[in-house]
Amino acid sequence: MTAGPTAIDWTAVWARLSAARSATRRIEEERLDGLFRRRADHLARPPESAERPAGAIRALTARIGRERYALPVTQAGEVAPLGRWVPVPGWPPALLGVVNRRGVPCPVIDLHHLLNAGAPSGTAACAVALRRPVQGYAVRIDEVGEILDLDATAFTIPGGREPVSPLVAGVGPDGLILLDLNRLDAIPAFPILRDAPTPS
Amino acid sequence: MHPQARTIDGRPTRIANKLLLITIIFAITIAAIGMITVQTLREQEMAAAQADAMGRQRFLVVRYYVDVLHTSMGDPRDHEAVKRVFDSNLRSMIEGGPVQINLSTEATVMMPPAVTPGIAAKLREQREAADRFEAAVDRFLALPAAQRSDPALLADLARQRIAASTQADDAARMYSAYTQSRVQTSILIQIALGLAGLLAGGIAAWLISRSIVAPLQRCVAMAQGIIAGDLRQPPLPIRSNDEVGLLTATFNEMLEGLRGITSETRDYSARLATAVAEMSASIQEQAVGARQQAAAVQEITTTVEEIGQSAQQVSDMARDVGSSADTVAGAGVNGLQTVKDAASAMEAIRTQTESVAETIVALSERTQAIGEIIATVNEIAEQSNLLALNAAIEAADAGDQGRRFSVVANEIKSLADQAKDATRQVRSILEQTQKNISTSVMLTEEALKRATAGREKALAAEDVIRRMTENLQENSGSFQQVVGATGQQQIGLEQIAQGIQQIRQASMQTAASTDELAKAATNLNQLGEALTRLMEKYRL
């Protein structure tokens, strides 16, 4: 004969449900209290010094393929989800196509191709609009990171060898690769882009 | 078949015939020699009589002369008769015929014609001399008596007589010489015939004895070889149809038979060894089986005793059950009502469980709505994150003017990251909750099935209890019969126990007999090995 199911203690069940509802309310209140306290503390702190150390640059980190890159914010204009793009016949492989940016067609440069990062994986991606001298273009990244203050002098070319791409300005101690998007002019295929119809 | 009655090529085979042949050969030889001897003796006797007859011619000449003298002296004698006998005899001696050898009895002897030309010439000379003597006698007798005393005349007469006698003596001497030579020739012929007969008989006896002895020697050699164990000998040649040939053939058959017997004996010895080995193995298995049987019988005895005890317990229990069956039947009525109540309760549980299932499904739908809300919140957080990034970029581009704005942008980005983490946690919790809801739905469905099954089982139990109650009431009397049957069963078990005890004794006797059989098999195996060694003496 098999043992029968354990009898349910309905009193304990009701007590557990009541405790769960109470805990939910308490956690919500504690979260709001914490948020308000952190906000007050932050506002109460003195303003940070405007002085930056020499050689420091502010950069936006991003993941392209399996590597992490840093894009100087002075070269980036806007980050937006990469929607559906339209390939343009006759354009080189480094250009994915054009996307609609607030009603304006914007060519998208495929950094996977320029950085030899392999084929992109997944559909979730972002487009980073660029500033001068290549204003009006955007580059495709797989995932956007955060904005960091970096020491530009810490980024070097390992062993003095030729980098995999002219866009690489240096490699940091933690493997972060600093890009210089102004060097797009140095890429042989890029003048073709310059000759392509530029967005107004 | 008796050896004396056997035949070879359909003819009687008797060695006595050969021995009889030897005897006949020697008898014929002896008879021939005897006949030749008798013939020779008769010839000698005849020759002696003939020689005597020829010698008696001289006597007749003298008798004739004496009778002539007596006649001349006045005493007449029949000298003519003597002369006729003389002439007749002489003629018979020349031409063949009877010769008178006794004047008184007139006995005669047959003379053949003159056997040789010399004798014939001598006999003719004797006749001429006798004729001259007779002529002288006639002249003498023709003379007067006074003149007969003339000495010259008497001398002439005497001379004629002597001449006739001399011729008769010569003829008799020649005939004696002839008969002597004949006798010597007969003796030589007899000796030659005797030697030839002895030689022929000896050769015949040697050949016949050789034809008998040589096969016997070969048979003896074969028998000695067989005694030495040599059965590979070739068969003896059969060169006669007599008893020796039959004996040789019998020896060949005996050798072949011994080969077959030895071969079969070896084969049988090998089979005997194999059979003994198998029999030994079977006996050992039988011994093991007998012991196992004895042990099993012992266990069965114990089991039967336990069964007897169990039967006694069954009897007691049947008696108790029979007494309590009525009580159970009464309790069955109450149980029947209780089962009906349980069926109703199970139906209520099923209804409530269905309500719980619907509530859980509604709860699941609510969690789906929560998931949609979480997705919306996550999207907002993503957009806030990007917005904060763009704000930070713009603030950085604005330089010092945008520094405080940069702080706000960072705060917004931090909040957006926290919102994303929170929505991730909520999604995880929501997924776990959905799994728990699915588990609850599954458990509720199972509970509903079990409640339905429980209600069906309760209804089935109601039917079973009803029939059980009826059967209990019907079987209440059957237990009493069971009590009686178990009593008889106990008696039968005691008989079974006695039978098993007898089987156990028989098993023990079988085990003992099996040991004896094993010993006998061992002895038989030893005998088989001895027989094999004995047969190995004979080489095939």
Could you state, in order of their start, the residue ranges of all structural domains in chain A? 11-46, 56-195
Report the residue of A31, A147, A149, A181 to disrupt the B interface, i.e. the one with the largest count of B CBs within 10 Å: A147
Partner-chain contact A79 B393, CB within 8 Å: yes
Which residue reads 């079987």 in tokens?
A: B475
**A62 pLDDT band (50/70/90 cuts)?**
very high
Tokens of B114: 């003159």
- The model's confidence at residue B9, banded by pLDDT at 50, 70 and 90, is low
pLDDT, average across residues A96-125: 85
Which of helix, strand or coil describes residue A130?
A: strand
Rounded to whole angstroms, the Cα distance separating B526 from B276 reads 10
Q: Average pLDDT for residues B523-529, to the nearest whole number?
A: 83
Region of poorest pLDDT, from A98-102, B84-88, B405-409: B405-409
CA distances, B79 to each of A164, A178, A183, B65, B84 (Å): 202, 212, 214, 8, 9
pLDDT band at A1, cuts 50/70/90?
very low
Q: Which A-chain residues 58-97 have CB contacts (< 8 A) with chain B?
A: 58, 60, 73-74, 76-81
The 8 Å CB, 24+ separation contacts for B254-257 are B255/B222, B255/B226, B255/B231
Whether residue A176 is predicted with pLDDT greater than 90 in this model: the reply is yes
Scanning the structure block, which residue is given the tokens 């020779």? B40
Whether residue B97 is predicted with pLDDT greater than 80 in this model: the reply is: yes
Q: Domain B14-221 maps to which CATH number in 1.10.10, 3.30.2010, 1.20.1330, 1.10.3470?
A: 1.20.1330
Burial of B36 (0-12, 13-18, 19+ CB in 10 A): middle
The whole-angstrom separation of Cα B144 and Cα B153 is 12
Query: Least CA distance to A61: which residue of chain B?
Result: B389
Q: How far is CA B376 from the centre of its chain?
A: 109
Instruction: For residues A80-84, give the mean pLDDT.
Output: 88
Is the Cβ pair A80, B386 closer than 8 Å? yes
Q: Find chain B residues with C-beta within 8 A of A146's C-beta.
A: 389, 413
Q: What angle do CA A62, A66, A68 make, to 5 degrees?
A: 30
Return the structure tokens found at B163: 């001449």
Tell me, what's the ipTM? 0.74
pLDDT beyond 50 at B202: yes
- Give dist(CA A162, CA A180) in Å, integer: 15
B393 touching A, CB under 8 A? yes
Question: Which comes out higher in pLDDT, residue B217 or A46?
Answer: B217
Share the mean pLDDT of chain B: 83
**Contact: B396, A74; criterion CB under 8 Å:** yes
Q: Is B404 on the interface with A (CB under 8 A)?
A: yes
Sequence-distant (6+) residues with CB within 8 A of A52 are: A149
Note whether A140 and A125 are within 8 A (CB): yes
> What pTM was estimated for this model as a whole?
0.40
Q: What CATH class does A56-195 carry?
A: mainly beta
Show me where the domains of chain B are located. Answer: 14-221, 258-536
A42 lies within 8 A of chain B by CB? yes
pLDDT tens-digit series, residues B364-398: 888 888 888 888 988 888 888 888 888 888 888 78
Give dist(CA B136, CA B65) in Å, integer: 11
Least confident of A96-110, B6-20, B125-139: B6-20
Tens of pLDDT along B165-190?
898 888 888 888 888 888 888 888 88
